[in-house]
Amino acid sequence: MQQQLTDVRERMIVALDFSSMDEVKKCLERLQGHIRYVKVGMELAYAEGPAIVAYLKEQGLKVFVDLKVHDIPNTAKGAMKSLARLGADMVNVHAAGGTAMMAAAREGLEQGTAAGAARPLLIGVTMLTSTSKETMNHEIAIPGTVEDVVVHYAKLTKQAGLDGVVASPLEVPLIKKAAGDSFVTVTPGIRPLGTDQGDQTRITTPEQAFRLGSDYLVIGRAITGASDPAGVWQSIVAAVEADRA
Ligand code: C5P
């Protein structure tokens, strides 16, 4: 299903990591006519509330509501019911919540989706792209390699009936091998050449991410923090299209 989205612009999700509607409006003005899909994370959702999703939908944008739900199954189910009612196109939970929580989340999402409407894509977060092996091993106390843990979480996510995972593009080939080509991969940790790595560790360029098989790229600061966001957007699209030609 995801493979039919041949226009690269439908697959690039801009992370609106702002704390107010004003900042969002300013950013959207500069990217108007270019972007198709945006992500609302905790900073914006907690500051502006559910109205922000309705506003973005009114602008004709698709919306990934990235609240990374991780709670007991009953609470996760209720959270997803509410998110489905907001009209989100994509939502997520932490795979570390386990299969019972993920299955409950899916049930809640189905219950909250209006009759005749498409259920939002439900994605499991594997290991945050800012997490290094050292942090995972010594602080989160999970032994092994990040790749092994990500693949384990991807399999659990699929087993629980979710549509895909959030992971680093570097892990996409392993995920597709373990869970199949149609299992959706959403990949943050994207840095066009020459941009600041910031707090991310497992990163690639946009071209590499698509080459590795990512279905959706999440790009934040490289675009929203640029002095010419539309220019950066266009250069990314051009670089990806050239790479595919
Ligand atoms: O600015 P940058 O491109 O690093 O933003 C990446 C976005 O993707 C942020 O909004 C961050 O919360 C989100 N994200 C992530 N790693 C995950 C899941 C989401 O970086 N595993």
Query: Is the CB of residue 66 less than 8 Å from the CB of residue 92?
Result: yes
Ligand 1, residues at Cβ distance < 6 Å: 15, 17, 41, 66, 125, 128-129, 166, 188, 190, 198, 200, 218-222
Backbone angle region of 62, left / alpha / beta, with phi > 0 → left and psi within -120 to 50 → alpha: beta
- Name the catalytic one among 66, 89, 163, 215: 66
On whether 137 is known to bind a ligand per the annotation, the reply is: no
3-state class of 88 per DSSP? Answer: coil
Mean pLDDT confidence for 203-218: 96
pLDDT tens-place string over residues 179-210: 999 999 999 999 998 787 888 788 899 999 99
What domains appear along the chain, each with residue ranges and CATH number?
8-244 (3.20.20.70)
Whole-number Å distance, alpha carbon 116 to ligand 1 midpoint, is 31
* C-alpha to C-alpha distance for 102 and 153, rounded to whole angstroms: 11
* C-alpha to C-alpha distance for 122 and 162, rounded to whole angstroms: 6
Residues 6+ apart with CB under 8 A from 228: none
Whole-number Å distance, alpha carbon 82 to ligand 1 midpoint, is 23
Give this prediction's pTM.
0.94
Mean pLDDT confidence for 106-130: 95
On whether 244 is known to bind a ligand per the annotation, the reply is: no
Query: Is the CB of residue 79 less than 8 Å from the CB of residue 108?
Result: yes
pLDDT tens-place string over residues 45-83: 999 999 999 999 999 999 999 999 999 999 999 999 999
- Name the catalytic one among 7, 25, 57, 71: 71
Rg (the chain; Cα; Å): 17
Cα–Cα nearest to 189, from 211, 165, 170: 170
Residue 99 in this model has a pLDDT that exceeds 70: yes
Residue 4 in this model has a pLDDT that exceeds 80: no
